[in-house]
Copies of this chain bind each other. A is one copy, B any other.
């Protein structure tokens, strides 16, 4: 099956201890699509401004990502400026929605309803609006962030009823549920409707609940993290892209999908920008997958 990814496309200006970059390729849909494209056919639905570099559209096309759903709107592309003093925490310096403000994509007539759907991290009201129009028949996965839990909790919880796989990080799971313990947090999220919950723990891996704990995936430990931007989006894209590539999803495929999500995220944080992620080779991904297997073999 194919995967439709809906989310933001952005030009990021990022500062980390490893450097300072201006207007590099970012956005939740961008990272997620590039990541998913290593496994599955992907269509992206998003919006950019007329200032959006054509080379990035070419890059997406080259990766076999359908870009006909990217609206090019008069104005400036969504911009995000952030700094990481601590690699675990982005400090947002400036957010300019620009053409993303009030974005309501044309998607009712699309064939995307046949596809699996990844609602990458954007305003849950928009995620819900899109869901209603797409009427997806495949897997529906949804990612979010702390901002929406703080300001749009109601819309997010309404959306959870429709979601097969809900991804969020450990701090967000605690924030959303009001529970410190992650088992309790997963139970709360499950009670709101999400069938499966993937709790991302950054450098400490991820957990999969439904609502019982199904399995634990440690992170691929890195010598160097250059820019954490997009790690969560990349994880979601890699995981759902891998699932989308399989007709029948059994326990084995599901577990592998989380490992691939983790592996793709490990590549994403080693360089700046989603453009760098696109340059990773399939061979390097498979090599890291096998290395991951060696590192986590416990002989039980």
Contact = CB atoms under 8 A, between A and B. Distances in A.
Interface string A280-293: 00000000011011
Contacts of A76: none
Given A259-B300, A289-B300, A299-B255, A216 B207 contact: no
A295 B252 CA distance: 12
Nearest to A208: B295
Contact of A204 (B204, B289, B294, B296): B204
A221 B182 contact: yes
Interface string A191-206: 0000000000100110
A293 B255 CA distance: 13
B216 A296 contact: yes
Q: Is the interface of A mostly helix, strand, loop or mixed?
A: mixed
Contact of A297 (B181, B224, B255, B292): B255
A70 interface: no
A294 to B, nearest CB: 8
Nearest to A87: B180
A204 B201 contact: yes
A54 to B, nearest CB: 38
Nearest to A205: B218
Contacts of A217: 218, 298
